[in-house]
Structure 1
Amino acid sequence: MTQQRMLSILRSRYGIIGIAAIVIVIGYLALAVALANHIPAGTKVSGVDVSGLTQQQAQQTLADALDPMLHEQREVKLSNVEHDPVFLDPEGLELQVDTERTLDRLTGFSLNPLRLWRHMFGGDNFSAFVRTNSESLATQLDAISETTDRAARDATIRLEEAQPVVEKAVDGVKLDKERAADVIEQSWLTNTDAIVLPVAVTEAQVTTETATEYVDTLLTPLLEKPLSLTVKEKLVELSPAQIAAAMTIEYKDGFAFSIDSEKIRDVVEQVQPGLLTAPKDASIAIENSAVKITPAVDGEAINTEALASDMLGVAKSKNRTVTVQIDVEKPKLSTADIEGLGVKEIVAEISTPFYEDPVRSTNLRVGSSYVTNTLVRPGETFDLQTALGPLEESRGFVRSGVIVNGFPATDIGGGLSQLATNVFNVGYRAGLEDVAHKPHTVYYDRYPMGLESTIWYDQIFVKWKNTTPYGVLIESFLDGSKITTRLWSTKYYDVQLHQGQPYNFVKAQTKRNPATDCKPSTHKKDGFSVEVGRTVSLNGEQIEDSRNVVHYDPLPAVTCD
Structure 2
Amino acid sequence: MTEGRTSSGAQVDGPPRDADEVQAQDDAPTTPDAGTTQTDGTDESAEPGEHAGDDESGEDEEPSAAGAADAEPTADAEPTADAEPVADDAPGADDEARNDAGDGEVADAVAADDEEPDDDEPVTEAEPDDDEPAATDADTDTDADADATAEMAPVPPAPPAGPAAPAGEPAPVAEPAVAVAATPSTPADASGPQRTDRAGSPMDVFPAQPHRRTWPRALGITAAVVVVLGAVYVGALWLLGDRVPPGATVAGVDVGGLSADAAVARLDEELSSVVTEPFAVAVGEKRTTVDPEDAGLALDTRATVESLTGFGLEPGRLWRHAFGAGEVEPVTSVDAARLDRVVDEVSSALLTPAVDATLAFVDGEPVATASETGTELDPDTGPQALVDGWLTAARPLELPSRDVVPEVDDADADAALDALARPLVDAPVTVVVAEQRAELPVDVLAGAATFAPEDGALELRLDGDALAEAVIARTTDLLTPAQDASFAFEGGVPVVVPGVAGSTIDADALAESVAEAATGADRTARVELVEIDPEQSTAELEALGVTTRIAEFSTALTNDADRNHNLALGASRVNGSLLRPGDVFSLTDTIGPISTENGYRGAGVVVDGVLTKGVGGGLSQMGTTVYNVGFLAGLEDVEHRPHSYYFSRYPEGREATIYEGVLDVKIGNNTPHGVLLQSWVADGRLHVAAWSTPYWTVEHSTSGRSAVVRPKTVYNTSPGCIAQSAGSPGFRVTVTRRLLLEGVVQEEDSDTWRYEPQNAIVCGPPPSAAPEQTEAPEG
TM-score by length of structure 1 reads: 0.68
Q: Which residue of 2 aligns with 1:30?
A: 232
Q: Which residue of 2 aligns with 1:355?
A: 559
Q: Which residue of 1 aligns with 2:434?
A: 232
2:532 is the alignment partner of 1:329: yes
The AA in structure 2 aligned to 1:440 is H
2:333 is the alignment partner of 1:129: no
The AA in structure 1 aligned to 2:407 is T
The 8 Å contact of residues 127 and 189 in structure 1, kept in 2 or not, is answered as: no
Could you list the per-position Cα deviations for residues 515-559 of structure 1 after superposition, in whole angstroms to 9, with x for gaps in the alignment? 999968652322457787899999xx8899999787662323466
Decide whether aligned partners of structure 1 residues 46 and 440 sit closer, same or farther in structure 2, where only a CA change above 3 A counts: closer
The AA in structure 2 aligned to 1:475 is S
Consecutive unaligned residues in structure 1, runs of 5 or more: none
In structure 1, distance between residues paired with 2:494 and 2:451: 43
In structure 1, distance between residues paired with 2:314 and 2:542: 100
The 8 Å contact of residues 76 and 86 in structure 1, kept in 2 or not, is answered as: yes
2:471 is the alignment partner of 1:268: yes
The AA in structure 2 aligned to 1:384 is L
Alignment map for 1:496-511 (pairs within 5 Å): 504=706, 506-510=708-712
The 8 Å contact of residues 342 and 490 in structure 1, kept in 2 or not, is answered as: yes
Decide whether aligned partners of structure 1 residues 155 and 555 sit closer, same or farther in structure 2, where only a CA change above 3 A counts: farther
The 8 Å contact of residues 588 and 665 in structure 2, kept in 1 or not, is answered as: yes
2:439 counterpart SS class: strand
Could you list the per-position Cα deviations for residues 209-267 of structure 1 after superposition, in whole angstroms to 9, with x for gaps in the alignment? 49995995486467555543221233323356755659897979999888777555333
The 8 Å contact of residues 474 and 488 in structure 1, kept in 2 or not, is answered as: yes
Q: Which residue of 1 aligns with 2:197?
A: none
In structure 1, distance between residues paired with 2:249 and 2:535: 82
2:485 is the alignment partner of 1:485: no
In structure 2, distance between residues paired with 1:469 and 1:43: 81
In structure 1, distance between residues paired with 2:304 and 2:358: 56
The 8 Å contact of residues 400 and 414 in structure 1, kept in 2 or not, is answered as: yes
Q: Alignment partner for residue 589 of structure 2, among 362, 366, 386?
A: 386
2:150 is the alignment partner of 1:150: no
The 8 Å contact of residues 356 and 372 in structure 2, kept in 1 or not, is answered as: yes
Q: Which residue of 2 aligns with 1:278?
A: 481
Decide whether aligned partners of structure 1 residues 35 and 289 sit closer, same or farther in structure 2, where only a CA change above 3 A counts: closer
The 8 Å contact of residues 188 and 195 in structure 1, kept in 2 or not, is answered as: yes
In structure 1, distance between residues paired with 2:279 and 2:325: 26
- The structure with the largest strand share of the pair is 1
Q: Alignment partner for residue 645 of structure 2, among 442, 459, 463?
A: 442
Q: Which residue of 1 aligns with 2:100?
A: none
Could you list the per-position Cα deviations for residues 371-414 of structure 1 after superposition, in whole angstroms to 9, with x for gaps in the alignment? 34433446644321331345566545677654567565777654
The AA in structure 2 aligned to 1:354 is T
Decide whether aligned partners of structure 1 residues 155 and 289 sit closer, same or farther in structure 2, where only a CA change above 3 A counts: farther
Bigger shift: residues 378-387 or 492-501: 492-501
In structure 2, distance between residues paired with 1:535 and 1:76: 63
2:210 counterpart SS class: helix
In structure 1, distance between residues paired with 2:677 and 2:519: 56
In structure 2, distance between residues paired with 1:531 and 1:116: 96
Alignment map for 1:121-200 (pairs within 5 Å): 122-123=323-324, 125-129=326-330, 148=346, 150=348, 187=389, 190-195=392-397
1:350 counterpart SS class: strand
In structure 2, distance between residues paired with 1:389 and 1:466: 25
1:269 counterpart SS class: helix
The 8 Å contact of residues 479 and 503 in structure 2, kept in 1 or not, is answered as: yes
1:208 counterpart SS class: coil
The 8 Å contact of residues 468 and 507 in structure 2, kept in 1 or not, is answered as: no
1:150 counterpart SS class: helix
The AA in structure 1 aligned to 2:305 is T
Q: Which residue of 2 aligns with 1:416?
A: 619
Aligned residues: 540
2:664 is the alignment partner of 1:463: no
Decide whether aligned partners of structure 1 residues 325 and 447 sit closer, same or farther in structure 2, where only a CA change above 3 A counts: same
In structure 2, distance between residues paired with 1:522 and 1:143: 77
The 8 Å contact of residues 440 and 552 in structure 1, kept in 2 or not, is answered as: no
In structure 1, distance between residues paired with 2:234 and 2:248: 17
2:679 is the alignment partner of 1:475: yes
TM-score by length of structure 2 reads: 0.52
Alignment map for 1:58-73 (pairs within 5 Å): 60=262, 67-72=269-274
2:304 counterpart SS class: helix
The 8 Å contact of residues 168 and 208 in structure 1, kept in 2 or not, is answered as: no
Could you list the per-position Cα deviations for residues 318-337 of structure 1 after superposition, in whole angstroms to 9, with x for gaps in the alignment? 43322113322232234566
The 8 Å contact of residues 55 and 107 in structure 1, kept in 2 or not, is answered as: no
Decide whether aligned partners of structure 1 residues 309 and 536 sit closer, same or farther in structure 2, where only a CA change above 3 A counts: same
In structure 2, distance between residues paired with 1:342 and 1:40: 90
Alignment map for 1:516-535 (pairs within 5 Å): 522-527=725-730
In structure 2, distance between residues paired with 1:213 and 1:439: 71
Give the CA deviation at 1:420: 0.8
In structure 2, distance between residues paired with 1:371 and 1:178: 66
Q: CA RMSD in A?
A: 6.0
Q: Which residue of 2 aligns with 1:208?
A: 407
Give the CA deviation at 1:87: 5.4
1:228 counterpart SS class: strand
In structure 2, distance between residues paired with 1:307 and 1:81: 46
In structure 2, distance between residues paired with 1:543 and 1:95: 62
Could you list the per-position Cα deviations for residues 419-464 of structure 1 after superposition, in whole angstroms to 9, with x for gaps in the alignment? 11222344556x3625344443432133355543323555552425
Q: Which residue of 1 aligns with 2:301?
A: 98
In structure 2, distance between residues paired with 1:99 and 1:533: 74
Decide whether aligned partners of structure 1 residues 21 and 71 sit closer, same or farther in structure 2, where only a CA change above 3 A counts: same
The AA in structure 2 aligned to 1:523 is A
The AA in structure 1 aligned to 2:439 is E
Could you list the per-position Cα deviations for residues 152-184 of structure 1 after superposition, in whole angstroms to 9, with x for gaps in the alignment? 99999999779899999989879999967x955
Could you list the per-position Cα deviations for residues 258-315 of structure 1 after superposition, in whole angstroms to 9, with x for gaps in the alignment? 8777555333223335323332334455699897976643322334554455456447
Larger gyration radius, structure 1 or structure 2 = 2
